[in-house]
Amino acid sequence: MSFAPQVKKGLTRCLVDTALQGDPLHFHISAVAAGLRSHAPHQHDGTEAIYIMEGEATLELENEKVVLRAGEGVIFEPQRMHGLINTGSVTNKYMVIIRH
């Protein structure tokens, strides 16, 4: 088995097994200041999970809103319009994992 380095947002180092075909799993770490979002609401294929590492954020999933705090996560259907906004008072840090 061998590994190749891949650049992933928020990670110092990420190694990927070269036996994997395509991009079956994507993940990155983001940090967002209080009151902001990393990008506009969007949608895409796959299955998505978000894990809040620090702070607080609100997941907007179509007409629903779910508050998530450090140590909490959510798994959802990303073909539904969604976005994440930092609704806390400090910078939040979160990991996004997407299975294509």
Annotated domain spans of the chain: 23-99
- CATH code of the domain occupying 23-99: 2.60.120.10
Q: Phi/psi class of residue 22: alpha, beta or left (left: φ > 0; alpha: ψ in -120 to 50)?
A: left
3-state DSSP assignment of residue 5: strand
Q: Residue 72 has what pLDDT?
A: 98
CA atoms of 81 and 44, how far apart (whole Å): 8
- With 0-12 / 13-18 / 19 or more C-beta atoms within 10 angstroms meaning exposed / middle / buried, residue 17 is exposed
Q: Residue 52 has what pLDDT?
A: 98
Q: Residue 31 has what pLDDT?
A: 97
Low-confidence spans in the chain with pLDDT less than 50: none
